[in-house]
Amino acid sequence: MIAILDYGAGNLRSVEQGFARVGIPAAVATTPEEMRQASGLVLPGVGAFASAMEALRGGTLLPELLREVEAGKPLLGICLGMQALFDSSEEGTGVAGLGLIPGKVKLLPRETAEGTQKVPHMGWNTIQTQPSPLFARLPDEPYVYFVHSYACFPESPEDVLATAHYGVDFAAAVRRDNVIGMQFHPEKSGSVGRVILENFAAMVEGGVR
């Protein structure tokens, strides 16, 4: 069973339905005990970084989340949930992230060398992937669905699983050991997203490698 953490800042049902569409057992978790019983964890998120971190730190799930990750349980952060994995964000000055992946979250530029662009970055875009079990059975440069104004910039290139371009290159997916993040929404990314969720579940089942 995969536990989808309900900390008050997530699009829980769409993620739950995304797993259900590919036949993967997943359920919303509201207690530390439900997290302990799960084989993998998902940290979803929509909204603002500061309020999401406040909700996470103000609830009962964070201490257990950190214990489970430290013990090696796979964790997947989606969209704002991925941004929460980092040290800090320009969206919430002075607000610390979880610090599970070193790096910062920065506002996407409106003015670029390619001209003026709309922010948020919303819609379909290609990603350039590194070899990873997460992207098994996918075509080169698959299309996925984004909705975000801020993007992640890891300190170490080794933590980057995929990049995308929207005025600048940014990390579309990251991984450090058992911690994985996706800036895009796999649950909204059609057949590509379904394969990614299946691959994540297979990694959970087999132990993240």
Encode the chain (209 residues) as per-residue pLDDT tens digits.
999 999 987 789 899 999 999 999 999 999 999 999 999 999 998 889 999 999 999 999 999 999 999 999 999 999 999 999 999 999 988 999 999 999 999 999 999 999 999 999 999 999 999 999 999 999 999 999 999 999 999 999 999 999 999 999 999 999 999 999 999 999 999 999 999 999 999 999 887 66
In 3-state terms, what secondary structure has residue 162? strand
Cis, peptide link before residue 44, omega less than 30° from 0: no
Residue 84 phi, psi dihedral angles, 5° rounding:
-65, -20
Query: Of 130, 127, 173, 126, which Cα lies nearest the Cα of 152?
Result: 173
Catalytic positions, written as ranges:
79, 185, 187
Residue 154 phi, psi dihedral angles, 5° rounding:
-65, 150
Q: Which two tokens stand for residue 42?
A: 């998902």
> In order of start, what are the domains of the chain with their CATH numbers?
2-206 (3.40.50.880)
**What is the pLDDT, as a whole number, of residue 208?**
66
Query: Of 43, 56, 67, 52, which Cα lies nearest the Cα of 200?
Result: 43
Q: Which two tokens stand for residue 110?
A: 């409106």
Our CA dihedral for 128, 137, 14, 26, rounded to 10 degrees, sits at -130
Give CA–CA dist 53/7, Å, rounded.
Answer: 9
**What is the pLDDT, as a whole number, of residue 46?**
87
Whole-prediction pTM: 0.96
Q: In Å, how far are 22, 64, 108, 122, 197 from 149, measured between CA atoms? A: 29, 29, 6, 9, 24
Q: In Å, how far are 101, 131, 136, 162, 170 from 76, measured between CA atoms? A: 12, 18, 17, 15, 18
**What is the pLDDT, as a whole number, of residue 209?**
60
